[in-house]
Amino acid sequence: MTKAVPYPYDTTFVAKCREMQSKYREEILNLPLRPYVVQNSRSKDFGKTFHLGNYISEGEESGANFLEKYIFEHAKERIRDRKPYETFDEDRMFNNLLSSQPMAFNLFCPLRKLLEENRIAVTKAIQAALPHYSIAMVTAVELEFIPYNYQNLTGDKSAMDAIIKYRNFEGKECFIAIETKYSENLGSNAASFMKLSGEKYEEKKNVYFEKIHDLNLFLPDIESKLRSKDVKLTQLYRNFILSETYGKKEGYISHSIVLAPAGHPSTIIEIETLQSQLLPQCKDKIRAVHLEDFVDSLIKETGGEYKKVFGKFKKRYLEWK
């Protein structure tokens, strides 16, 4: 059997995550690795093959990347029934053990199933996992969520990895937009339109300026900072503006979190950067939540098959030692 080798460009944190998933493939799944061929044509290693331990073959048939069969079935269903504006990387979903996309399915599909069976139980579990929010009753748990009317919002079809909808104790409809990260950093590149010039740049830029102005969440100088490009519309900014615009349009109270392991190298810095551009009373609209704390709360507050599946999740992704 071919042995996995470290990826030469990994940070210490990514290397730790990759090694963990390689051991999971070898010791739990007992599957051979699939060589990884660099697909990025801009990379100096384009076309080069690496023997990385987090890739498997034929996961779309075996479901090996998922902790339970019903999670695998939901992933297949979402890809089969995808809407024209939804984008799924099937190889990433089924064959990359390191990817945060199947990780999100492994974490939130059980909550989705529990909601169908026992709304009170799932509400208690999520209340414990997200204690900062006034969650009276959970009403929906969805994955890879793109607002149906995204074109009338910011035009950005970046998906929320998960969304939890709920009613608060005042009876108001709310949601939490969730970005999950495992080894990947939050996208640091600015919105693609910022590389444009002339009329196309002005058109796209003005859409964001209009939404930012309507939301009334940012400090007054945000527009001048964007115009001078002192502030970049990175993935975190765009996701936040999209979720807030969706919430305002649909009548929800909206919040956002980034769910990542403790020690994730970029999460805290990027969230603090975004918070520094928000009005003081709006800073708590986006938070970082440690994945370990979230999962431990679910293990503590659930029972039976759900305690087991969240225990398996913790063992696979978070038991570093």
pLDDT for position 188? 55
3-state secondary structure string across the chain = CCCCCCCCCCCHHHHHHHHHHHHHHHHHHCCCCCCEECCCCCCCCCCCEECCCCECCCHHHHCCCCCCHHHHHHHHHHHHCCCCCCCCCHHHHHHECCCHHHHHHHHHHHHHHHHHHCHHHHHHHHHHHCCCCCCCEEEEEEEEECCCCHHHCCCCCCCEEEEEEEECCCCCEEEEEEEECCCCCCCCCCCHHHHCCHHHHHHHHHHHHHHHHHHCCECCCHHHHHHCCCCCCCHHHHHHHHHHHHHHHHCCEEEEEEEECCCCCCHHHHHHHHHCCECHHHHHHEEEEEHHHHHHHHHHHCCHHHHHHHHHHHHHHCCCC
Q: Which residue has the higher pLDDT, 203 or 220?
A: 220
Q: Which residue has the higher pLDDT, 204 or 51?
A: 51
**12 occurs within a structural domain:** no
pTM of the model: 0.93
Give pLDDT tens digits for 41-77. 778 888 899 999 999 999 999 999 999 999 999 999 9
- Of the pLDDT bands very low, low, confident and very high (cuts 50, 70, 90), residue 282 is very high
- Of the pLDDT bands very low, low, confident and very high (cuts 50, 70, 90), residue 259 is very high
**239 occurs within a structural domain:** yes
**117 occurs within a structural domain:** yes
Percent of the chain with pLDDT over 70: 95
pLDDT for position 265? 86
pLDDT for position 246? 93
**312 occurs within a structural domain:** yes
Of 107, 253, 60, whose CA–CA distance to 166 is shortest?
Answer: 253
**29 occurs within a structural domain:** no
pLDDT exceeds cutoff 90 at 211: no
**85 occurs within a structural domain:** yes
Give pLDDT tens digits for 155-201. 777 788 999 999 999 999 999 999 999 998 876 555 555 555 566 66
Average pLDDT, the chain: 91
Q: How many domains does the chain have?
A: 1
**33 occurs within a structural domain:** no
Distance CA 168, CA 256 (A): 16
Q: What is the mean pLDDT of residues 96-108?
A: 97
pLDDT for position 200? 67
Percent of the chain with pLDDT over 90: 68
Q: What is the mean pLDDT of residues 99-116?
A: 97
Q: What is the mean pLDDT of residues 219-240?
A: 85
Q: Which residue has the higher pLDDT, 217 or 204?
A: 217
**234 occurs within a structural domain:** yes
From 32-36, 59-63, 230-234, the region with the lowest mean pLDDT = 230-234
Domain range holding 67?
58-317
